Homo-oligomer: A and B are copies of this chain.
Amino acid sequence: MEKLKRKEREFRFRRTEILEEAEKIFALKGFHETTMAEIARSAGFATGSLYQFFEGKEDLYATMMTEKLSLMFTEIEAAVSRGRDTPGKLRALVSSHFKFVEENMDFYRLLVRGEGISYSDGHSSLKDQIIRYFLDHVDFIDKLIREGVKQKLFKNTNTRAMAYSLMGIMSFFKFMSVMKPEGSLMKKVPIVLDMFLKGVGRDGAS
C-alpha cells in the first residue's frame, strides 16, 4: 500500500513533468511541428515511455490543454470569490484573467491558435471540451452580472450578451497583446472595466 502510493506519486510526477515540457514545446512550434521524440528528450524520457502516460500525441496535447484551461478558470474563479463586492469581483475577474494570460503567454498563444483541434473526431473532442470550458465561464460571468443586476448596478437586459461583451473586450486586448505586445496587460484592466461598464457614449447621449 505504501509502495503503491509511492508508485502512484511517481507516476503523477513524471506525467506532470511531461505535460510541462510538452506545453513549452507545443507553444513554441505548434502541434504539428512538434514531435513526440522531441518532447520525450526534453522531459528526459525515451520516446516509447510517453505512451505509458498518454495514448498518443493527440491525447497528450488535449490533456495538456484541458488541464491548463481548467487551471486557468479555476484560478480566475477563485480570485473572483475573494472579491468583497460585485464591483470588486468584476475587477478580480478581469485582472486575474489578464494575470494568467500574461504569465502563460505561450499557452495562450496555443489556445488562440486552436491547432490540433480535430474537427471530425468521433467522441468528445478537444474542441468540445474547450467550448465547454468557455461556456461554463460565460455562465460564471453571467451569474456575476445577474448579481449586479439585482443590486441595481447593471442594466436589466440581456445578461448573457453582457457576458459575451466582457469576454470580447478582454479577448481583443489579449489578442493585441499577443500579436503586438505594448506594455503589461495589467495596465489595461481599468480601461476594460470602464469600457464594459460605461460604454463609449457620452453620459446622457443616446
Extra pairs beyond A161-B188, A168-B175 (10, CB < 8 Å): A148-B200, A152-B205, A154-B201, A155-B201, A155-B202, A164-B173, A168-B171, A171-B172, A195-B199, A199-B199
In the complex, what's the smallest C-beta–C-beta distance from A24 to chain B, in angstroms? Answer: 13
A-side interface residues, number (CB < 8 Å): 54
Main secondary structure of the interface of A (DSSP, over half): helix
Tell me whether A30 and B171 are in contact in the complex, defined as CB-CB below 8 angstroms, given that A179-B134, A205-B153 are known contacts: no
Among B134, B175, B199, B205, contact of A196 (Cβ-Cβ < 8 Å)? B199
Tell me whether A119 and B30 are in contact in the complex, defined as CB-CB below 8 angstroms, given that A180-B131, A203-B204 are known contacts: yes
B-chain residues with CB within 8 Å of residue A145 when the two chains form the complex:
200
Report Cα–Cα, A119/B164, bound state, in Å: 30
Let me know if B119 and A200 touch, CB within 8 A.
no
Tell me whether A162 and B32 are in contact in the complex, defined as CB-CB below 8 angstroms, given that A168-B169, A179-B134 are known contacts: no
Among B171, B191, B197, contact of A161 (Cβ-Cβ < 8 Å)? B191
Let me know if A195 and B161 touch, CB within 8 A.
yes
Among B119, B157, B167, B195, contact of A162 (Cβ-Cβ < 8 Å)? B195
B-chain residues with CB within 8 Å of residue A166 when the two chains form the complex:
200
Report Cα–Cα, A135/B172, bound state, in Å: 12
**Which residue of chain B has the shortest Cβ distance to A158 in the bound complex?**
B191
Give A residues with C-beta under 8 Å from B.
Answer: 28-30, 32, 112-115, 117, 119, 131, 134-135, 138, 145, 148, 152-155, 157-158, 161-162, 164-173, 175-176, 179-180, 188, 191-192, 194-206
In the complex, what's the smallest C-beta–C-beta distance from A48 to chain B, in angstroms? Answer: 13
B-chain residues with CB within 8 Å of residue A201 when the two chains form the complex:
153-155, 197-199
Let me know if A180 and B135 touch, CB within 8 A.
yes
Among B112, B154, B176, B204, contact of A164 (Cβ-Cβ < 8 Å)? B176
